[in-house]
Amino acid sequence: MNAMAGEQQFLAHAGGGSAGPDRAGMAQLHSQLQQLQAWQTQLQQGLGSALAPTPGLQASHPLAQQTQALHQQCQDLQARWAQQWSALQPARSLAQDFEQRVILLVFGKFNAGKSSLCNFLAERFAAQGQPVRFFHLADGAVVESDEPLREGATETTARLQGLCLGTGLVLLDTPGLHSVTPENAALTQRFTESADGLLWLSSSTSPGQVQELDELARELRRNKPLLPVITRSDLIEEDEVDGEIQKCLRNKTPANRALQEADVQTRAQDKLRQLAIDAAVLKHPVSISVHAARSQPGPNALADAGLLRLYTAITEVLAPAQAYKQRKPAEVLLHHLEENVQGAIEAELLPELQDLQRALAQEQERLQQSKAAMLRAAWRRTIPALPGVLERYADRLPVLSAEVAALVRAEISEQLQGHLGGYVLSELPTEAAAVVLPAAIAGPDALYAALQNAVRVQIEAAFSAAVDACSHALEPVLVQTEKMQAHLRQCAQDLQDLGTALRA
């Protein structure tokens, strides 16, 4: 097959309309979307009912505030997720506008030759009678244009632009990776969602700068095919023409191109492994020179410039890109759930939930320490007062018991307020501080010992009961956090299973 026939075959194949999913495929896609939507509903129901206020804590207690903050975070996250899904609408609309076409994202630094390659392919499609349509995006809408894409040594792509080739292929020419404006980089990130495959362009002067794949990692994890294209694979040589030395553009040798392609392939595979991305998405690099193909007419110009190999490589990308396209509506929703929803849960919500669990454990420990501290303080403050009370009421035991009981009650209340003031505590019942003396006491020393014992019994009982009540008040929060954590773990596993089934 000669070069022209090979080109015609590629253009006819790539430019033809892509078949949509059949009835079984549509039913499967509908089922997948329903399962993903059901997952989100289940997740949000679990978040909406979690972490209700506990009646045992004052609103001012740090744990009550932390619980309320976590509850509010759940509400805020759900609102954010809705906004993030709405923000994807332009990209989803773009995909719907081109639902019968495979969309390939042309990605690379601003001097990688993206616009040059797109315009060259447009020329070749037009030369074969295939329809070509240029467009750019403005406010998320497709605006058609009669002019080819701008080319230049500096960044000229201030907006996301593209072209339709035939009836089956769309190329999106993006603002450069190292855009001179932050808006360009943001625009690129926003619309990569709509692509079905990725053409990664880099100049042969520094081919395959693999750090650029960091920018594509999100898309590559979605199993979109990646074709590295080494551009400007040419050089300037001096030649004698009519007795004069002239500078001429020449293609790099096949051996030189093969070395660069192998190097890019090896380094790209290593980078994908570092990023934990399946290396199967990577296609073998191809080296081309658009300028040589244009400036050196002849039957072998396309082959010598590497364009026929590029045609073959793009053809190999179209099949997995088409497979991705057919499941794209479910993929887009899955990406949102994995990256925006589950990503926020793991990065923001789970750490806060774990912080709350740690705070609960620390508070339980503090309660026990407070019990010991209250006992020591109450004992040290009450016992020194007993001799004076005993001296005044030694001959009237009922009055003595009542006076000591009042002293104990006041001390218990003060200690509870100081150590457990953040809890909702019941009124201290009268019997909680009652001082019960033996019926028969022999002498003042025995009476004093009996008073000490009665005080010890009462303060220990009162503080134990109070600490137990506070500890019990924390249990609903602990149960809620454990239940919420289990819910989130199960949801994470369920989403992973849905993703595996979708991409099987």
- pLDDT tens digits, residue range 240-269? 666 676 777 889 999 999 999 999 999 999
User: Would you say residue 178 lies in a domain?
Assistant: yes
Judge if 285 and 337 occupy the same domain: no
Share of the chain above pLDDT 70, in %: 89
Residue 297 has a pLDDT of 73
Judge if 8 and 149 occupy the same domain: yes
Residue pLDDT, tens place only, 118-148 = 999 999 999 888 999 998 877 767 788 888 8
User: Would you say residue 21 lies in a domain?
Assistant: no
Residue 98 has a pLDDT of 84
Judge if 423 and 442 occupy the same domain: yes
Q: Which two tokens stand for residue 43?
A: 């997740």
Judge if 332 and 242 occupy the same domain: no
Residue pLDDT, tens place only, 56-109 = 899 899 999 999 999 999 999 999 999 999 988 877 777 777 888 999 999 888
pLDDT at 493 over 60: yes
Residue 153 has a pLDDT of 46
Alpha carbon distance, N-terminus to C-terminus of the chain: 37
Judge if 288 and 225 occupy the same domain: yes
Q: What is the CATH number of the domain that holds 115?
A: 3.40.50.300
Could you give the angle at the alpha carbon of 290 between the alpha carbons of 288 and 294, nearest 5°?
135
Total count of domains within the chain? 2
- From CA 260, how far away is CA 254, in angstroms rounded? 10
pLDDT at 49 over 60: yes
Judge if 368 and 457 occupy the same domain: yes
Over residues 11-23, the mean pLDDT reads 72
User: Would you say residue 30 lies in a domain?
Assistant: no
**Are the C-beta atoms of residues 415 and 374 closer than 8 Å to each other?**
yes
Residue 138 has a pLDDT of 76
Sheet with strand 226-231: strands edge to edge: 141-145, 132-138, 161-165, 169-173, 102-107, 197-203, 226-231, 286-287
pLDDT band for 154, please (50, 70, 90 cuts): very low
The residues, any chain, with a CB within 8 Å of residue 60's CB and separated by 6 or more, are 422
Residue 186 has a pLDDT of 62
Over residues 188-192, the mean pLDDT reads 70
Q: Which of 282, 311, 326 is the last residue of a domain?
A: 326
Residue 91 has a pLDDT of 76
Judge if 57 and 110 occupy the same domain: no
Judge if 77 and 153 occupy the same domain: no
**Are the C-beta atoms of residues 201 and 229 closer than 8 Å to each other?**
yes
User: Would you say residue 23 lies in a domain?
Assistant: no
Judge if 220 and 139 occupy the same domain: yes
Q: Which of 289, 305, 326 is the last residue of a domain?
A: 326
User: Would you say residue 199 lies in a domain?
Assistant: yes
Instruction: Lowest mean pLDDT of 117-131, 175-189, 323-337, name the range.
Output: 175-189
Domain range enclosing 235 = 3-16+96-326
Higher pLDDT, 483 or 4: 483
Residue 19 has a pLDDT of 57
pLDDT at 185 over 70: no
pLDDT band for 180, please (50, 70, 90 cuts): very low
Judge if 297 and 376 occupy the same domain: no
pLDDT at 408 over 50: yes
**Are the C-beta atoms of residues 35 and 337 closer than 8 Å to each other?**
no
Judge if 496 and 412 occupy the same domain: yes
Q: Which two tokens stand for residue 410?
A: 């006041």
pLDDT band for 399, please (50, 70, 90 cuts): confident
User: Would you say residue 25 lies in a domain?
Assistant: no
Which residues share a beta bridge with 136? Answer: 143, 161
Share of the chain above pLDDT 90, in %: 53
Judge if 49 and 169 occupy the same domain: no
pLDDT at 488 over 70: yes
Q: Measure Cα distances from 367 to 309, 353, 420, 461 in Å.
A: 74, 21, 8, 15
Where is mean pLDDT largest: 117-131, 190-204, 438-452? Answer: 117-131
pLDDT at 275 over 80: yes
User: Would you say residue 22 lies in a domain?
Assistant: no
Residue pLDDT, tens place only, 339-349 = 999 999 999 99
Q: Which of 326, 349, 384 is the last residue of a domain?
A: 326
User: Would you say residue 236 lies in a domain?
Assistant: yes
Residue 173 has a pLDDT of 84
pLDDT band for 218, please (50, 70, 90 cuts): confident
Residue 426 has a pLDDT of 79
Residue 418 has a pLDDT of 93
Residue 420: φ, ψ to 5°: -125, 30
- Comparing C-alpha atoms, which of 133, 82, 108 is closest to residue 285? 108
Residue 434 has a pLDDT of 65
